[in-house]
Structure 1
């Protein structure tokens, strides 16, 4: 299929474009920054450009991964988030319908599910988050605009029958956390595979699965994260004594961490449950916390990317 891939120069795009080609698709990359997988430099907020690309290429499908992200809040005004994340999504949806695209995959974020209370971890137990969680009260302009774009996608399916899958992806960025610095980056990322992270490779695979299944699903919205080893019955104990719960599932985790000078989380305040995407799309992340421990046990490279020097292509161009 001819696929329009937005955000093709970004962290996800650099993995997703080759994966699409391996699957036999022909992606055309669109991004505001140049890159090896970007064919057209431009913005999704540029409606005439979007219409021209659809008219010239007659895309069968769209994977819309372009966005302003949470770290961009410090660099751009709120209006820029509306222009790119909302108007840009609207431009793509309108062009997809006008030109008869058969499917649309939208990269959203679990961040929009996190209220200020969840972020502050005020609840007495770990908050279990899945597609039914709510009410949704995004805490910043990034979350608000991504949530609005989700609703636009749902509306276009309802009004026009456009098959759409929305993927609320957990963390997969390679750089340091921009809000927490109490643990070394690799240690923090390893911990997050218990409850709120996936690899960029698995994220790309999830998008490919969504592209393939969208016509059969119609409209679907899914949390995408490494499968958690925990269940809801453990939520209270995860908040008060996470190491004890982890030890129940992984008896040698503390020893393996100690050998590396790492710390297990003392408390886990939220858990992302990705069971629905496995049930409906047959997709499951290949890398989980067990894979992290297996790498530590065998003294192999860690199965996830960590690059403190990574910067957005927008900042490099």
Structure 2
């Protein structure tokens, strides 16, 4: 099928476009920045740009273009509304008018994190699945992504456009802009316990959603590496995460120590991706077990860490 991929020059796009082609799809890339997989330069906030791309006869949309959390320091709030909300509306309207039977939207688990969860002041880790709510995003990024999810739901119910929303956990390659310890690869490795996935798995989830969307109609899925924890662990995770981790991975402390890394002593949130496994038929292939396997073997980490990564749009 002919797939329009927005955000084709971004971090996800560089993994997703080749994977789509390998699956036999024709890909048209749309982005505001140049890139090897981008065919049209322009903003989804411009209805004329969207119309021009749709004139090429696309059959489906994977909408991964967005302003993200780090962009808050670079762009005004109005830009987030223009791109993340109006841009999504432009694409949904065009897809519905064209009679498409599938639309995949890249959302974020970030919109589930209110200020209280981020402050981690409770006595238990917060277990986050698709039923968690009410949602109260803490910044303009989360507010606009939640609004865009609502538009997807509206177009599924009122226009019959099957929409799958993927709330992806972290897969960015650069350093975290809020955490300084642990940092770098150590932090990313730890996050595979509760809040991270690889870019490759994020791309694979989008292909699964593209395939299943007509059967699903509308649904929202958290996409994250499978957590080794269970709901009954939430109090111990907050008070003594190390004991919980070592109970499941007895050699983790020694493997980490040999690398000069530290395991988390407290975990404040856990993303549960079980709904995606049950209903979408998708499970991330890389988990915390693979991190430990790489440490045992002395091989490269199964994720990308690039402190110097800069978004092409910048």
**Same fold by TM-score, threshold 0.5 exceeded?**
yes
Q: 1:58 offset after TM fit, Å? A: 2.1
Which residue is 2:185 aligned to? 186
Tell whether the 8 Å contact from 1:2 to 1:57 is kept in structure 2 after alignment.
no
Q: CA deviation at 1:57?
A: 1.9
1:100 aligned onto 2:105: no
Whether the 8 Å CA contact 2:40–2:53 is kept in 1: the answer is no
SS at structure 1 position matched to 2:66 = coil
Within 5 Å, which residues of 2 pair with 1:104-143?
104-143=103-142
Query: What's the CA shift for 1:237?
Result: 0.1
Following superposition of structure 1 onto structure 2, how do residues 142-221 of structure 1 map, counting pairs within 5 Å? 142-221=141-220
SS of equivalent residue, structure 2 residue 11: coil
Q: State TM-score, norm by structure 1.
A: 0.98
Q: Which digits, 9 at most, give the CA deviation of each residue in 1:25-57, with x for residues without a partner?
A: 001000000000000010100101101211x22
Q: In 2, Cα distance between the equivalents of 1:116 and 1:287?
A: 29
Measured in 1, the distance between the counterparts of 2:229 and 2:252 equals 15
Q: In the alignment, is the contact (CA less than 8 A) between 2:129 and 2:271 conserved in 1? A: yes
Pairs within 5 Å for 1:1-317: 1-54=1-54, 56-315=55-314
Q: Post-superposition shift, 1:100?
A: 1.1
Distance 2:213 2:306 in 1: 33
Distance between the aligned counterparts of 1:306 and 1:160, measured in 2?
41
Deviation sequence 1:52-71 (CA, Å, 0-9, x none): 211x2221110000000000
Q: Could you tell me whether the CA contact under 8 Å between 2:176 and 2:183 is conserved in 1?
A: no
Contact 1:3 1:26 in 2 (8 A): yes
Does the CA contact (< 8 Å) of 1:195 and 1:226 recur in 2? yes
**Mind listing any 5+ residue stretches in structure 1 that lack a counterpart?**
none
Provide, for residues 196-219 of structure 1, a one-character-per-residue CA deviation record: whole Å limited to 9, x for no partner: 000000000000000000000000
User: Which ranges of structure 2 fall in alignment gaps of 5 or more residues?
Assistant: none
**Aligned mates of 1:123, 1:223 — CA distance in 2:** 23
CA distance in 2, matches of 1:32, 1:128: 36
Distance of 2:13 and 2:250 partners within structure 1: 37
Q: Cα offset for 1:182?
A: 1.4
Residue by residue, what CA displacement relative to the aligned partner does 1:232-261 show, whole Å, maximum 9, x if unpaired?
000000000000000010000000000000
DSSP 3-state at the match of 2:16: helix
Q: CA deviation at 1:190?
A: 0.2
> Distance in 2 between the 1:298 and 1:275 partners?
29
Contact 1:168 1:222 in 2 (8 A): yes
1:183, CA displacement in angstroms? 1.3
CA contact (8 A) 1:58 1:101 kept: no
- 1:176–1:308 contact (8 Å) kept in structure 2: yes
For normalisation by structure 2, the TM-score amounts to 0.99
- Root-mean-square deviation (Å): 0.5
Q: In the aligned structure 2, how far is the partner of 1:91 from the partner of 1:219?
A: 19
1:9, distance to aligned residue in structure 2 (A): 0.2
